[in-house]
Amino acid sequence: PLFPGLTELEMLRWIFAILGTPTEADWPGLTKLCNYIEFEKVPATPLQRLFTGATPAALHLLASMLKCNPNERMSCDQALKHPYFQEAPAPTEPSKLPNPLSVTLRKQLQDQQEHEAMQQQSKQNQHRRQPYCPHGSARSLPDGAGQPPIDVDAT
CA–CA gap between residue 140 and residue 133 (Å, rounded): 10
Give the tens place of pLDDT for each residue, 49-94.
999 999 999 999 999 999 999 999 999 999 999 999 999 988 888 8
> How confident is the model over 124-136, as a mean pLDDT?
57
For residue 5, the SS3 value is: coil
Q: Taking a C-beta distance cutoff of 8 angstroms, is the pair 5, 11 a contact?
A: yes
151: left (phi over 0), alpha (psi -120 to 50) or beta: beta
Give the tens place of pLDDT for each residue, 12-58.
999 999 999 999 999 999 999 999 999 999 999 999 999 999 999 99
Contact partners, residue 95, CB within 8 Å, separation at least 6: none
Q: How many helices (H) and strands (E) does the chain have?
A: 5, 0
More confident: 101 or 73:
73
pLDDT of residue 123: 73
pLDDT of residue 92: 85
Q: Taking a C-beta distance cutoff of 8 angstroms, is the pair 150, 134 a contact?
A: no
Q: pTM for the complete prediction?
A: 0.58
Res. 152: pLDDT tops 90: no
Domain ranges of the chain: 1-45, 47-91
